[in-house]
Structure 1
Amino acid sequence: MIYSVPAALDSNDALELFGRTRERTGRLVAPLRPEDQMLQSMEDASPVKWHLAHTTWFFEEFILKPHVSGYVSPDDRFAFLFNSYYTQAGPRHARDRRGMVSRPDCAEVAGYRAHVDAAMEELLSATDDGAIAGLVELGCHHEMQHQELLVTDLLHGLSFNPLLPTYRDPEPLPVTSEVPLTFTRHDGGLTQVGHDGVGFAYDCEGPRHQIFAHPFEIADRPVTNRDWIAFMEDGGYDDARHWFMEGHAVAAREGWEHPLYWWEQDGVWWTFTLRGPQPVALDAPVVHVSYYEADAYARWAGSWMKGGARLPTEVEHEFAFRDHPIEGNFLDNEQLRPMPGSGVWGDVWEWTSSPFTPYPGFRPPEGALGEYNGKFMVNQMVLRGGSCATPREQMRTTYRTFFYPHQRWQMMGLRLAKDIA
Structure 2
Amino acid sequence: MNIAIVGTGYVGLVTGTCFAEMGVNVTCVDIDERKIQKLKEGIMPIYEPGLDDLVTRNVKAGRLHFTTDLTTCLDEVEIVFSAVGTPPDEDGSADLRYVLEVARTVGQNIKKHVVLVTKSTVPVGTAKKVRAAIQEELDKRGVNIEFDVASNPEFLKEGAAIKDFMTPDRVVVGVESERARKLMEKLYKPFTLNGYPILIMDVPSAEMTKYAANAMLATRISFMNDIANLCERVGANVDNVRKGMGADSRIGNRFLYAGCGYGGSCFPKDVKALVHTGLENGYHMQVIEAVEAVNEKQKHIVFDKLQTAFNGDLQGKTIALWGLAFKPETDDMREAPALVVIQELLKAGATVKVYDPVAMDECKRRIGDVVTYCKDMYETVIDADALALLTEWKLFRLPSWAIIHRAMKSHVIVDGRNIYDGEELKELGFSYSRIGQK
TM-score (norm 2): 0.25
Q: Whose helix proportion is higher, 1 or 2?
A: 2
TM-score (norm 1): 0.26
- Answer with 1 or 2: which has the greater Rg: 2
